[in-house]
Amino acid sequence: MTTLKDPPQAADDHADLWLTPGELASWLSVVRLITRLPWAIDAQLQRDADLSMTEYMAMAMLAEAPDRTLRMSRLAEMTSVSLSRLSHLVKRLESRGYARREPDPVDGRFTNAGLLPAGMRKLEEAAPGHVALVRHLMVDNLSAERLRRLGQDAERIVQRIDSPAR
């Protein structure tokens, strides 16, 4: 789908012009991946633990941070979400008793988010099912070499996304 050949004499126009058929096919596969993979991960976590992927990731990052605590801004970049979104998200975690927030005593502009014991338990309870799915879809589905390269390519694209130019 979305096959396009020659830019200049544009006789065949549809969606993604000016990509070769092969490039287009690869791109559309990636689009399907970035659409469905989050959906699949979310669905499992939602069903089994009533958590979104972002909530899980945020709790996981907190869990391994020193003192299970991180600044909101740091946590936001680690989880690739906006500060606003994180603020709402942590407020929800807080209301569920999984996390806690307090202004940094040293510099009052910072807010430190910490994972509470109940949050840690929730995470430990959710982890096996989540990991099993990741294993099923990714780790056991690709050779070690291809998984490694996939990670590299992903990282390369992400770096370009938040590189200055553009």
Partner DNA sequence: GAGTTTGACTTGACGGTTCAAGTGAATCAG
Partner DNA sequence: CTGATTCACTTGAACCGTCAAGTCAAACTC
Which residues bind to DNA, rule: CB under 7 A?
Answer: 39, 43, 46, 52, 54, 71-74, 81-92, 101, 103, 106-111
Contacted entry of DNA, a second copy, none for residue 71, CB cut-off 5 to 8 Å set by kind: DNA
CA nearest neighbour of 21 among 33, 3, 46: 3
| Bridge partner residues of 103 (DSSP) | 111
Q: Which long-range CB contacts under 8 A does 107-114 form with residues at least 24 apart? A: 110/71, 110/72, 110/73, 111/71, 111/72, 112/69, 112/70, 112/71, 112/72, 113/62, 113/69, 113/70, 113/71, 113/72, 113/75, 114/62, 114/67, 114/68, 114/69
Nearest to DNA of 77, 140 (CB atom)? 77
Contacted entry of DNA, a second copy, none for residue 127, CB cut-off 5 to 8 Å set by kind: a second copy
DSSP secondary structure letters along 101-143 = EEE-SS-TT-EEEEE-HHHHHHHHHHHHHHHHHHIIIIITTS-
Query: Contact with a second copy (CB under 8 A): which of 84, 95, 144, 164?
Result: 144
Contacted entry of DNA, a second copy, none for residue 6, CB cut-off 5 to 8 Å set by kind: none
In the complex, what is the shortest distance from the CB of residue 158 to DNA, in angstroms, rounded to a whole number? 16
Residue 69 DSSP SS3: strand
Q: Which of residues 31-70 bind a second copy (CB under 8 A)?
A: 31-40, 53, 56-57, 59-61, 63-64
Number of chain residues interacting with a second copy (CB under 8 A): 72
Q: Does 142 bind a second copy (CB under 8 A)?
A: yes
In the complex, what is the shortest distance from the CB of residue 132 to DNA, in angstroms, rounded to a whole number? 19
Q: Does 109 bind a second copy (CB under 8 A)?
A: no
Query: Contact with a second copy (CB under 8 A): which of 8, 70, 138, 164?
Result: 138
Distance CA 159, CA 166 (A): 12
Question: Among 29-37, 87-95, 98-106, which window interacts with a second copy (CB under 8 A)?
Answer: 29-37
